[in-house]
């Protein structure tokens, strides 16, 4: 009888300890909901991972040139050299017949000739009038390096690549003695209704909006300005009942692209009421204010905002580190551990 009771007590103590350990582990598990393009890769990229991006980088480069060629017709821009029209036709044919993500010499030569054409450059300068990846100029200017035999993508090459995100991708990692579960959701309109109800109770939402999108339209709807759509989504997330008590971190990304673009295209193209200077500081702060003023619970809910450049890994890691401290503090306070 005594031995039985003793074994039962031991089992009970073990169960209590397990429950306590599990509770502490749960308290130290931070669930992040990521909205927008991924801006950080926790551990950098291995050689193998970099090599896997070659097909994506080649695909991005070809699709960018095809997008410019298509826009040449739409915008009625003439080629500087009439011979480039044949190159455009050849590229379109080649892209249909070769394996996606490969770059034969013939294709690379055609893209190189097209990129040097004055008409193509004039069309590239009007990129805000059609859909073109931000990375187009970066890859096309460096085409010779990208097609050199034995090419290994640099970290910059990888960071500038573009892969459409649909569905939900979960990443788990450890940082500062905490377990992180980060959920990257499809950012495109049709995907949103599939995930919003799944994340009630997440610790933190990381919302990423491109500063440089102020003069661009959506892929899904060329009547809708991308910045307006970002503000619309931010409003619905920030004030949603599911996220009433959720910390929100706002990353206003692509400040490098924005800095160049704002010198040429006034912010009033997106915000007609804006009549301030066309500088990075003034226009950037105006955009930030548009987001922060959507918070209907400013007295109880703080939004942490940062302007970032995804291709500057040190900048992003520094900001992410600071944000992590905020999340940890809030999370442990809620659990009575701080």
d(CA 168, CA 191): 9
Q: Summarize pLDDT for 8-36 with one digit per residue, the tens.
A: 677 667 766 666 665 555 556 667 777 76
Judge residue 331's burial from the number of C-beta atoms within 10 Å of its C-beta, 0-12 exposed, 13-18 middle, 19 or more buried. buried
pLDDT at residue 58, as a whole number: 93
Tell whether residue 161 is among the known ligand binding residues.
yes
Between vectors from CA 241 to CA 240 and to CA 243, what angle results, nearest 5°?
70
The values of phi and psi at residue 265, to 5°, are -120, 115
Tell whether residue 186 is among the known ligand binding residues.
yes
Tell whether residue 188 is among the known ligand binding residues.
yes
The values of phi and psi at residue 178, to 5°, are -120, 155
Residue 37: pLDDT above 60?
Answer: no
pTM: 0.62
Residue 312: pLDDT above 90?
Answer: no
CATH code linked to domain 203-335: 3.40.50.300
**Least confident among 110-114, 143-147, 203-207, 229-233:** 203-207
What is the mean predicted confidence (pLDDT) over 47-70?
Answer: 89
Tell whether residue 256 is among the known ligand binding residues.
yes
Work out the number of other CB atoms within 10 angstroms of the CB of residue 335: 13
Tell whether residue 253 is among the known ligand binding residues.
yes
The sign of the CA dihedral 147, 151, 157, 162 is: positive
Q: At what angle do helices 54-74 and 105-116 cross, to 10 degrees?
A: 40
CATH class of the structural domain 47-160: mainly alpha
**Least confident among 39-43, 88-92, 320-324:** 39-43
- CB-facing half-sphere around the CA of 315: CA atoms within 13 A: 14
Tell whether residue 63 is among the known ligand binding residues.
no
Work out the number of other CB atoms within 10 angstroms of the CB of residue 114: 24
d(CA 82, CA 102): 27
Tell whether residue 160 is among the known ligand binding residues.
yes
d(CA 321, CA 117): 44
Tell whether residue 332 is among the known ligand binding residues.
no
Tell whether residue 257 is among the known ligand binding residues.
no
β-bridge pairing 247-253 and 303-307: parallel
Q: Are residues 252 and 308 in contact, defined by beta-carbon separation less than 8 angstroms? A: yes
Q: Summarize pLDDT for 76-103 with one digit per residue, the tens.
A: 999 999 999 999 999 998 887 777 767 8
Q: Where are the domains of the chain?
A: 47-160, 203-335
Estimate to the nearest angstrom the gap between the alpha carbon of 190 and the chain centroid.
17
Tell whether residue 162 is among the known ligand binding residues.
yes
| Of 149, 137, 229, nearest in space to 192 by CA | 229
Tell whether residue 44 is among the known ligand binding residues.
no
Beta-strand ranges (E) seen in the chain are: 29-35, 168-175, 178-185, 204-210, 247-253, 303-307
Tell whether residue 236 is among the known ligand binding residues.
no
The values of phi and psi at residue 82, to 5°, are -55, -25
Q: Are residues 123 and 76 in contact, defined by beta-carbon separation less than 8 angstroms? A: no
Q: What is the chain's mean pLDDT, rounded?
A: 79
β-bridge pairing 303-307 and 29-35: unpaired
Largest CA distance in the chain: 99
Tell whether residue 255 is among the known ligand binding residues.
yes
pLDDT at residue 123, as a whole number: 96
Tell whether residue 159 is among the known ligand binding residues.
yes
d(CA 91, CA 75): 19
Residue 327: pLDDT above 70?
Answer: no
Residue 242: pLDDT above 60?
Answer: yes
């Amino acid at each position: 009888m005594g031995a039985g009771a003793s074994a039962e007590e031991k089992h009970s103590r073990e169960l209590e300890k397990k429950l306590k350990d599990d509770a502490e582990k749960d308290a130290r598990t931070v669930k992040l909901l990521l909205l927008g393009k991924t801006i950080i890769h926790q551990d950098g990229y291995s050689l193998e991972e970099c090599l896997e991006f070659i097909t994506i980088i080649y695909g991005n480069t070809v699709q960018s040139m095809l997008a410019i060629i298509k826009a040449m017709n739409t915008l009625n821009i003439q080629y500087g050299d009439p011979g480039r029209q044949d190159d455009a036709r050849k590229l379109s044919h080649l892209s249909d017949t070769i394996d996606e993500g490969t770059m034969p010499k013939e294709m690379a030569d055609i893209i190189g000739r097209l990129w040097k054409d004055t008409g193509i450059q004039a069309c590239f300068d009007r990129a805000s009038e059609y859909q073109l990846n931000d990375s187009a100029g970066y890859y096309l200017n460096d085409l010779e390096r990208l097609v050199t035999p034995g090419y290994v993508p640099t970290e910059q090459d990888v960071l500038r690549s573009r892969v459409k995100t649909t569905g939900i991708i979960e990443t788990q990692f450890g940082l500062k003695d905490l377990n992180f579960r980060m959920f990257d959701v499809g950012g495109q309109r049709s995907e949103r209704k599939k995930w919003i109800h799944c994340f009630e109770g997440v610790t933190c939402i990381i919302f990423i909006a491109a500063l440089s999108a102020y003069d661009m339209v959506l892929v899904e709807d060329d009547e809708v300005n991308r910045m307006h759509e970002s503000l619309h989504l931010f409003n619905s997330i920030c004030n949603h009942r599911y996220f009433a008590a959720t910390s929100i971190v706002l990353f206003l990304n692509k400040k490098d692209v924005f800095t160049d673009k704002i010198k040429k295209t006034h912010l009033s193209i997106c915000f007609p009421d804006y009549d301030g200077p066309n500088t990075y500081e003034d226009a950037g702060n105006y955009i930030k204010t548009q987001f922060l003023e959507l918070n209907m619970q400013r007295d109880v809910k703080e939004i942490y905002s940062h302007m970032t450049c995804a291709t500057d890994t040190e900048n992003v890691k520094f900001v992410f580190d600071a944000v992590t401290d905020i999340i940890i503090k809030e999370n442990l306070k809620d659990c009575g551990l701080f």
